[in-house]
Amino acid sequence: MSARDICTHWREHPLLKWNDSWPPNEHSDCRRRASEWPKSLPWVAAMRDGEKHTKSAMITVGLAEDTSHTELDQLVRDGRWVCTCGDPRLPPVQDSSWGILISHDVAEQAWYTQHRYSLPIYHRGCPVDEVLSNHSLRSTDACLKLLDPDDEPKYPDYKVEQSVVDEVAAVIAGRDNPPICKICYNMTKDNSRSKSLYLLKDVNVLAHHIKTKHDVQLTKDLIIFQYFRY
């Protein structure tokens, strides 16, 4: 959604006046009682450092900075501007956009940064030996690529045998809590272990994580379950 579309949306919104602060501040918003606050409205904000990340991504793939949003979206939907990490959580290219692509890349970089700061002291020297940073725009083999019209993207092979799929599916189906990557869990300081370690209850997502973050194949022994309050 463009900035113009966002502005139009909020100008025409029936429940929240233009220029109202959101979320409402209980100490300063005296026009209405707390029970009358439009709690169902979403909080819309610009992505932190979004402009910087977008500029870096465009430079990485060789796109001009003045390329329009429409052109960027078309490149994504034509399957030319892609992330070759093969994340199964990404939508099909025809349903994607440049914003989705950038948000995905930023989230992956943030995950890696957070994981590095959560490593025990004895891992500080060489965290990349155990956790791969496959979304760094500084890498010579960055995941974000601008393909020629006739090129096909090359994705990592994280598929596992059907017997493993069945085993893992049975394990996660029998637990209420989301699964956790055992490698990530063991590499995280005790006081840094939290819900941020949770992964989706999806075998493809688990297999992709294990392969692209640790370069090993998924097995049921690499999935554990822990309850975290936060």
Mean pLDDT, the chain, integer:
82
Among 99, 122, 146, which residue terminates a domain? 146
Between residues 37 and 52, which one has the greater pLDDT? Answer: 52
In a domain, 157, yes or no: no
Among 93, 117, 146, which residue terminates a domain? 146
Between residues 203 and 29, which one has the greater pLDDT? Answer: 203
Are 85 and 115 found together in one domain? yes
**What residue spans of the chain are helical by DSSP H?**
3-11, 50-61, 69-77, 98-117, 162-173, 182-186, 203-214
In a domain, 229, yes or no: no
Are 89 and 131 found together in one domain? yes
pLDDT value at residue 52: 83
Least reliable range by pLDDT among 117-131, 145-159, 182-196:
117-131
pLDDT band, residue 29 (cuts 50/70/90): low
Distances (CA, A) of 148 to 36, 50, 54, 114, 194: 54, 26, 20, 34, 42
Are 131 and 173 found together in one domain? no
Are 124 and 205 found together in one domain? no
Strands 144-146 and 180-181: unpaired
Among 117, 146, 175, which residue terminates a domain? 146
Are 65 and 99 found together in one domain? yes
Are 56 and 142 found together in one domain? yes
pLDDT band, residue 148 (cuts 50/70/90): very high
pLDDT value at residue 53: 85
In a domain, 153, yes or no: no
Q: Is the pLDDT of residue 154 over 80?
A: yes
In a domain, 186, yes or no: yes
pLDDT value at residue 128: 45
Are 31 and 54 found together in one domain? no
pLDDT in tens, 165-222: 999 999 999 999 999 999 999 888 888 888 889 999 999 999 999 999 999 999 999 9
* DSSP code for 137: T
Are 58 and 141 found together in one domain? yes
In a domain, 203, yes or no: yes
Instruction: Tell me how many domains the chain contains.
Output: 3
pLDDT in tens, 5-15: 666 776 676 66
In a domain, 100, yes or no: yes
In a domain, 24, yes or no: yes
In a domain, 42, yes or no: no
pTM of the complete model: 0.76
Q: Give the chain's length.
A: 230
Q: Where does 80-161 show beta strands of DSSP type E? A: 81-83, 144-146
Domain that holds residue 26: 3-36
Q: Averaged over 147-164, what is the pLDDT?
A: 92
The answer to whether 81 touches 146, Cβ cutoff 8 Å, is: yes
pLDDT band, residue 162 (cuts 50/70/90): very high
Distances (CA, A) of 5 to 8, 40, 94: 5, 20, 21
Are 64 and 115 found together in one domain? yes
Sign of CA dihedral 60, 61, 67, 68: negative
